[in-house]
A = this chain, B = another copy of it.
Amino acid sequence: MAGSVYGRHFVISTWGESHGDTVGVVVDGVPAGLSLCEEDIQIQLDKRKPGQSEFTTARNEADRVRIMSGVFEGVTTGTPIAMMVENGDHHSADYSNIKDIYRPGHADFTFDKKFGIRDYRGGGRSSGRETLGRVAAGAIALKILGELGISVEAYACAIGCIEVSKENFDIKEKYNNPLCMPDKEAAGKAQEYVKGLMEKGDSAGGIIECVIKGLKSGVGEPVFDKLDACLAKAVFSIGAVKGFEIGAGFKAASMSGSENNDGFTAENGEIRKTTNNSGGVLGGMSDGSDIVFRAAVKPTPSISCTQKTVTKGGEETDINIRGRHDPLIVPRAVVVVESMAAVTLVDLLFEDMKSTMDHVRELYVRDNKQR
């Protein structure tokens, strides 16, 4: 598919540019019988809403979602669910000055090279607003997972060089600071760090960690559609992500086999691992432990300090990017990471439902009675 369609069983198809008419998503493959209302979606969208602190863009986006299909009397019907948000607060004029200039670190240059044309207003399709559709779809996926007892929670585990410490880790703290850091002390330092960069018109990056709890063994497919491979693609498809690791991740490369292997133990016949260097995935399938992965987010490329660049015509020039930008995208990206993980999990869960003849037989016999 041409790049804006994702998933095989739970298929999301997003649309929209930053300053276009609307942004939205169609979700095909939502099972019938799930209770769903606009508020379920809105709660998630509000998490990526800008203007919630000094660290995010002042763009004022009401971003009220409208469910346009697939829900009848408060319940999903099994048909596609289309959702959209009107693009209200346009300041397109802010962008006319960059119409013919390639902003460093942005996709302006590559869009022009690929398509020969680009909607330069607000980054067009490569704007962060593109993620609205992902988050709306993710809200449905998270609701399905919730009904199965599976939770997905992400947070900032590092901003610049400031890392959350194991000792201070407190997930509740995530909601007490504008950086989504589950460590009060680290959050304080990180805010100082970001403010320092903001004063210079500069920006910061960070690392998002995501933990999935409640997933049974066996989700994900051996070979190409491994659970970790699918999560890697899902998370890497979010703009600004430059790295992805699971469990021990890059550290595993310098460990020995005896250090890295997670032993197995059993209590009352139930098998579990004694450590979790695998990050909850063995051979591409969930192993019953928590899934734990991390994504590196680069610093926002839109900075107001002077940069060297070129015009579309190939002339060198300086650029000072104005307009409303996030000096740090990490806090708003947290819900996007959760959303992409959730969409991916639902897709693989559905794939897994047909992995054994026992499954297939049982469902068909049950249906035999019901239908």
Check A305/B258 contact, CB under 8 A, given A2-B10, A33-B357.
Answer: yes
B242–A233 contact, CB under 8 A? no
| Residue A188, interface by CB 8 Å | no
Chain B CB count within 10 A is highest, among A34, A106, A283, A364, for A283
A69–B360 contact, CB under 8 A? no
Q: Which residues 112-131 in A have Cβ within 8 Å of B in the complex?
A: 113-119, 124-126, 130
Give the contact stretch, choosing among A47-55, A56-64, A171-179, A262-270.
A262-270
- A236 vs B160: C-alpha distance in the bound complex, in angstroms? 26
- A107 vs B229: C-alpha distance in the bound complex, in angstroms? 15
Chain B CB count within 10 A is highest, among A24, A78, A226, A263, for A78
Return chain B residues, CB-CB under 8 Å to A288.
113, 371
- A11 vs B229: C-alpha distance in the bound complex, in angstroms? 17
In the complex, how many angstroms separate the beta carbon of A360 from the nearest chain B beta carbon? 5
Return chain B residues, CB-CB under 8 Å to A82.
15-16, 22, 24, 84
Per-position contact with B for A1-21: 1 when CB-CB < 8 Å, else 0?
111111111110111110011
- A364 vs B66: C-alpha distance in the bound complex, in angstroms? 31
- A142 vs B14: C-alpha distance in the bound complex, in angstroms? 23
Check A360/B356 contact, CB under 8 A, given A217-B109, A310-B265.
Answer: no
B298–A252 contact, CB under 8 A? yes
| Residue A225, interface by CB 8 Å | yes
| Residue A308, interface by CB 8 Å | yes
Check A303/B69 contact, CB under 8 A, given A2-B29, A11-B1, A126-B283.
Answer: no
In the complex, how many angstroms separate the beta carbon of A297 from the nearest chain B beta carbon? 6
A-B CB contact pairs (8 Å), 11 listed: A15-B80, A20-B69, A33-B356, A106-B282, A111-B283, A114-B285, A197-B257, A258-B303, A263-B307, A288-B371, A362-B366
Q: Which residues 287-318 in A have Cβ within 8 Å of B in the complex?
A: 287-288, 296-303, 305, 307-310, 313-316
Per-position contact with B for A131-147: 1 when CB-CB < 8 Å, else 0?
00000000000001001
